Amino acid sequence: MRFFIDTANLDQIKEAKDLGILDGVTTNPSLMAKEGIKGKRNIKNHYAKIAELADGGDVSAEVISTDFEGMKKEAHEFAKIAPNIVIKVPMIKDGVKTLRYLSDNGIKTNCTLIFSAGQALLAAKAGASYISPFIGRIDDITWDGIGLINQIAEMYAVQMFDTEILAASIRNSNHIVQAAIAGADIVTCPLSPILGLLKHPLTDIGLEKFLADHRKGNK
């Protein structure tokens, strides 16, 4: 399974990269706004920095238009920034049309705001490279986010779709493990749930004992 980091924060991206586990980056308009990145030119410059840091790993840049012509124009502008830019398109009617257009023109896409297997089916049919089911937001309303990943993984396997499942809206480390078991190809999340995978009290106790025994034996 590949690990993407879900942030527009350059320090967090660097930290994940230094850990040696970074395969790509996803952003969205909320994450860009959180970093204070405003205006077309600044947004494009920031994507260029992220794309460089990602070292060839895919970087999702989300369009803000909701009509086909607008999405198409934004997509071409973003695609010029770097070869590893992937166009993130919302799951709406004109978004589906945009997925098909971009796929036919050799531009990679990530269909975002996926909350059902039906939406995942339509996005795959339109040629999406990735789909982003939002696990956390589904769990937030007491539905089953991981159950949706299971369903989509089974459907894509039966139908032999190439579209990859990018589990998004990850709230904790267990979501990462469960998404891996359910058949997600990639998870995207902030750095903290990734670092949470490191933690186990028996690891800390065990290491402390090894080091104490070493000190005793080397007095």
- Which positions touch ligand E4P (CB under 6 A)? 6, 26, 28, 112, 132, 134, 136-137, 168-169, 188
Minimum CB distance to ligand E4P smaller for 30 or for 208: 30
Q: Which of 40, 88, 199, 216 is catalytic?
A: 88
User: Is 50 in contact with 8 (CB distance < 8 Å)?
Assistant: yes
Q: Is 72 a catalytic residue?
A: no
94 burial via Cβ count (<10 Å: 0-12, 13-18, 19+): middle
Of 105, 54, 44, 114, nearest to 84 (Cα)?
54
**In a 3-state reduction of DSSP, which class is residue 73?**
helix
Least CB distance to ligand E4P at residue 211 (A):
38
Minimum CB distance to ligand E4P smaller for 136 or for 183: 136
Least CB distance to ligand E4P at residue 9 (A):
14
Minimum CB distance to ligand E4P smaller for 36 or for 217: 36
Least CB distance to ligand E4P at residue 203 (A):
28
Any idea which residues carry the catalytic annotation?
88
